[in-house]
Chain A
Amino acid sequence: MNALLATVRRDLLLALRRKSEVLTSLFFFVIVASLFPLGIGPEPALLKKIAPGVLWVAALLSTLLGLPRLFAADHLDGTLEQMALSPSPLALLIAGKILAHWLLCGLPLVLLAPLLGLQFALEGQTLFILSLSLLLGTPLLSLIGAMGAALTLGVRGGGVLLALLVLPLYIPTLIFGAGAVEAQSAGLGVEGHLSLLAALLALAVFFAPWATTAALRIALE
Chain B
Amino acid sequence: MPAMLKVSRLACSRGERQLFADVSFSLAAGEWLHVQGENGAGKTSLLRLLVGLSPADAGEIYWRGVAASEADFHRDLLYLGHHAAVKDDLTPLENLCLSAALDGIHLHEEAALAALVRLGLRGREALPVRVLSAGQKRRVLLARLLTRPAALWVLDEAFNALDSGAVQLLGALVGEHLARGGLAVLTSHQPLPLPAGKRLML
Could you tell me which A residues sit within 8 Å of B by CB distance? Answer: 2-3, 6-7, 9-10, 13-14, 17-18, 76-79, 81-88, 93, 220-221
Contact yes or no, B102 A17, CB < 8 A: no
Those of B45-102 within 8 Å (CB) of chain A: 51-55, 72, 74-75, 77, 79, 81-90, 94, 98-99, 101-102
Residue B123 at the A interface, CB < 8 A? no
A6-B54 contact given A77-B85, A77-B86, A79-B85, CB 8 Å threshold = no
Closest 6 CB pairs of A and B: A78-B83, A6-B101, A78-B85, A17-B89, A87-B75, A221-B54
Provide the residues of chain A in CB contact with B85, threshold 8 Å: 77-79, 81-82
Contact of A14 with B90 at beta-carbon distance under 8 Å, contacts A3-B101, A85-B51 already known: yes
Residues on B facing A (Cβ under 8 Å): 51-55, 72, 74-75, 77, 79, 81-90, 94, 98-99, 101-104, 128
Knowing that A2-B101, A77-B84 touch, tell me 12 more A-B residue pairs with CB under 8 angstroms: A3-B103, A6-B98, A6-B101, A17-B89, A79-B99, A81-B79, A83-B102, A85-B79, A86-B104, A87-B72, A87-B75, A88-B102
Q: Hey, which chain B residues are within 8 Å of A17, CB to CB?
A: 89-90, 128
A76 proximity list for chain B (CB < 8 A): 83
Known: A14-B89, A17-B89, A220-B53. A88 touches B103 (CB 8 A): yes
Contacts of B84 in A (CB 8 A): 77-78
Nearest Cβ on chain B to A215's Cβ, whole angstroms? 15
In the complex, the answer to whether B94 meets A13 with C-beta atoms within 8 Å is yes
Cβ contact within 8 Å between B52 and A85? yes
Asked if B89 and A18 sit within 8 Å, CB to CB, the answer is yes
Whether B90 contacts A85 by the Cβ 8 Å rule is no
Residues of A within 8 A of B51 (CB): 85
Give CA–CA (A163, B103) in the complex, Å: 32
Q: How far is the CA of A193 from the CA of B187 in the complex (A)?
A: 58
Interface centre among A9, A76, A82 (most CB of B within 10 A): A82
Q: Are B53 and A3 in contact (CB under 8 A)?
A: no
Check A14/B53 contact, CB under 8 A, given A83-B102, A87-B75, A88-B103: no
The CA of A211 and the CA of B195, in the complex, are separated in Å by 45
Q: Check B83–A81 contact: CB distance below 8 A.
A: yes
Assembled-state Cα–Cα distance A73/B59 (Å): 33
* Minimum distance in angstroms from B185 CB to a CB of chain A: 14
Given contacts A78-B82, A84-B53, A85-B77, contact A3 B87 (CB under 8 A): no
Q: Which of B75, B77, B79, B87: most chain A Cβ within 10 A?
A: B87
User: In the complex, A87 Cα to B106 Cα: how many Å?
Assistant: 13
A86 CA to B148 CA, complexed, in Å: 11
- B52–A87 CB distance below 8 A: no
Chain B residues contacting A2 (CB-CB under 8 Å) are 101, 104
B83 shortest CB reach to chain A, Å: 2
Contacts of B94 in A (CB 8 A): 13
CA distance A18 to B130 in the complex (A): 13
Decide: A6 and B87 in contact? CB cutoff 8 A.
no
When chains A and B are docked, how far (Å) is the Cα of A7 from the Cα of B98? 8
**Bound complex: CA of A19 vs CA of B129, how far in Å?**
18
Known: A17-B90, A87-B74. A3 touches B104 (CB 8 A): yes
Contacts of B74 in A (CB 8 A): 85-87
Q: What is the CA–CA distance of A84 and B55 in the complex, to the nearest angstrom? A: 14
Cβ contacts under 8 Å, A86 to chain B? 74, 102-104
Q: What residues of chain A lie closer than 8 Å to B128, measured between beta carbons?
A: 17
Given the contacts A17-B89, A78-B81, A93 and B55 also touching, CB distance less than 8 Å: no
Give bound CA distance, A13 to B102, whole Å. 14
Contact of B53 with A81 in the complex, beta carbons under 8 Å = yes
* Closest CB in chain A relative to B138 CB, distance in Å: 12
Q: How far is the CB of B139 from chain A (nearest CB, A)?
A: 16
A38 to B106 CA separation, bound complex (whole angstroms): 54
CB distance from A149 to the nearest CB of B (A): 19
Most B CB contacts (10 A, CB to CB) among A78, A84, A87 go to A87
